[in-house]
Amino acid sequence: MKKKGFTLIELLVIIAIIGMLSSVILVNLSGTRERAKISQGLSFSQSMNNALGAYLVGIWSLDKINPDNTVIDASGYNNNCISSGPVEDDGIMRKALSFDGVNDYLNCGNQLSLSASDALTIEAWVFDRAPSESYEYIVSNDRDCCGAYKGYSLFINQNKVRFQIWDSSSVQRRVSSLQSISANTWYHIAGTFDGNKMSIYINGNLDNSLNFIGTIGTPASYNLAIGGLGYSPANYNINGKIDEVRIYGEALIAGEIKKHYAEGLKKHKLTIVNR
């Protein structure tokens, strides 16, 4: 007897079932507003992962510090980190790493795969205990100032998110968020550069942009640090938790981000809450 393939209706039913089974189970957070913010950010993060999977050069879930003190990169580029101080704590998805704001950081090396040039996206979940402090680095393989360097960084300074690159002429370029970051609150934060514009997104929303036509200077001046400054990773450390760090060698344009964000809202049947 000749075997029959799936009909179109059967395939649609299977896809629908898979979609339902893969829905995100939200963490139990107080307040409808806070749950909606976290859920929307999770949807945005997953959309970015799906869209840019081929360009992922660093995936650090930060769920676990191994007995040999390593934190694994799941991108396939082997950008594994050496832990210096942070401890495992409750995260946005499973576990996160908690940094003391004094000298905790991860050293993730300086492989060429981490030296973005034409385009870049950095994303992470961040829970900052003291966002009003000066220079709390989330991801960095550059320096804050004072010279000519190469690389990029994403950090919080005086309640604002800052996304910075050093261009191919070692000129510092920086965009700052308009929205302020509150203490002891989870935020999904992303910085993108597409060769023409630098942008900051907070919880899936475009917050601010800076026009800049050029490239990022390569190779990066320093090892990539998570939780500290690349130039001196035991300084300018974040006092808080970091989870689900991703680095891509490509940028999502605003239209794609809005589209994926809307798809995430629809998929998880969430209500949009005005800020």
Residue 28 CA to residue 39 CA, distance in Å, equals: 11
The tokens of 246 are what?
Answer: 């991703």
Give the helix/strand (H/E) hosting 81: strand 81-84
Amino acid at 63: D
Q: Which of 78, 81, 129 is nearest to 105 (CA)?
A: 81
How much is the pLDDT for 3? Answer: 44
Whether residue 154 contacts residue 162, with contact meaning beta carbons closer than 8 Å, is answered with: yes
How much is the pLDDT for 271? Answer: 35
Instruction: Please state the length of the chain.
Output: 275
> Can you name the residues that pair with 187 across neighbouring β-strands?
126
Interval 134-174: pLDDT, tens: 899 999 999 888 888 899 999 999 999 999 999 999 999 99
How much is the pLDDT for 10? Answer: 52
Task: List the chain residues with pLDDT less than 70.
Answer: 1-54, 253-275
> Can you name the residues that pair with 243 across neighbouring β-strands?
125
Residue 189 CA to residue 202 CA, distance in Å, equals: 5
Q: Which of 46, 88, 38 is nearest to 67 (CA)?
A: 88
Q: Which of 265, 238, 268, 54 is nearest to 134 (CA)?
A: 238
How much is the pLDDT for 131? Answer: 95
How much is the pLDDT for 28? Answer: 46
How much is the pLDDT for 56? Answer: 84
The structural domains of the chain, ordered by start, are 29-267 (2.60.120.200)
Q: Which residues contact 259 (CB under 8 A, 6 or more apart)?
A: none
How much is the pLDDT for 47? Answer: 53
Whether residue 206 contacts residue 153, with contact meaning beta carbons closer than 8 Å, is answered with: no
* Cα of 9 vs its chain's centroid, Å: 38
DSSP conformational letter for 167: B
